Amino acid sequence: MSKLNKILIIIGGIVLIFAIVVIFWPKKEIIIEKKVIKTIPASVVVIPTQDKTPIYSTTGAKLTILPDDQYKLMTLIYTLRQSCPINNEYFSIIYDYKFDNFVVTIKPENMETFLQWKKDTGYNEIMDKYWVIKND
């Protein structure tokens, strides 16, 4: 074995040991403090199938078949509108018939609870333009 080879073996061994040390060196546990979101009981709104059966009319009425996404949106809005006014300890919602939007009165610290509720119910699919947020 030549001198050069020996040197290389030693260097390789050192590098290997260094690598093993780095890999298996005990790590400091990182503790992430989970933020607790207060939630309110909610269930997902069930969207009934759109009734596409043509209607029989003798005065000239036809049913407009809405695109599926439009139908889903309108049904969500209708369902929430029928639930209004909503009042709980975190926020309140009313429907403004003049501007056709939901007015949410809420404190900033409860915003996440509201968003979580929207997500849990499926109302998060109602676009932002239909919501007006007011600070309580």
In the complex, minimum distance from the CB of residue 100 to another protein, in angstroms, rounded to a whole number: 6
Helix (H) or strand (E) holding 70: helix 68-83
Residue 99 dihedral angles phi and psi, to the nearest 5°:
-105, 0
* 105 CA to centre of own chain: 20
User: Among residues 40, 45, 47, 74, which is the contact residue for another protein, using CB under 8 A?
Assistant: 74
The residue range among 35-43, 55-63, 105-113, 115-123 that interacts with another protein, by the rule CB under 8 A, is 55-63
User: Among residues 98, 108, 129, 135, which is the contact residue for another protein, using CB under 8 A?
Assistant: 98
129 part of the interface to another protein, by CB under 8 A: no
User: Among residues 2, 43, 49, 59, which is the contact residue for another protein, using CB under 8 A?
Assistant: 59
Distances (CA, A) of 15 to 7, 8, 9, 50, 103: 12, 10, 10, 68, 65
53 part of the interface to another protein, by CB under 8 A: yes
Q: Give the number of residues written for the chain.
A: 136
The residue range among 11-19, 30-38, 73-81, 112-120 that interacts with another protein, by the rule CB under 8 A, is 73-81
20/53 Cα distance (integer angstroms): 71
85 prior amide bond cis, ω within 30: yes
User: Among residues 55, 89, 128, 135, which is the contact residue for another protein, using CB under 8 A?
Assistant: 55
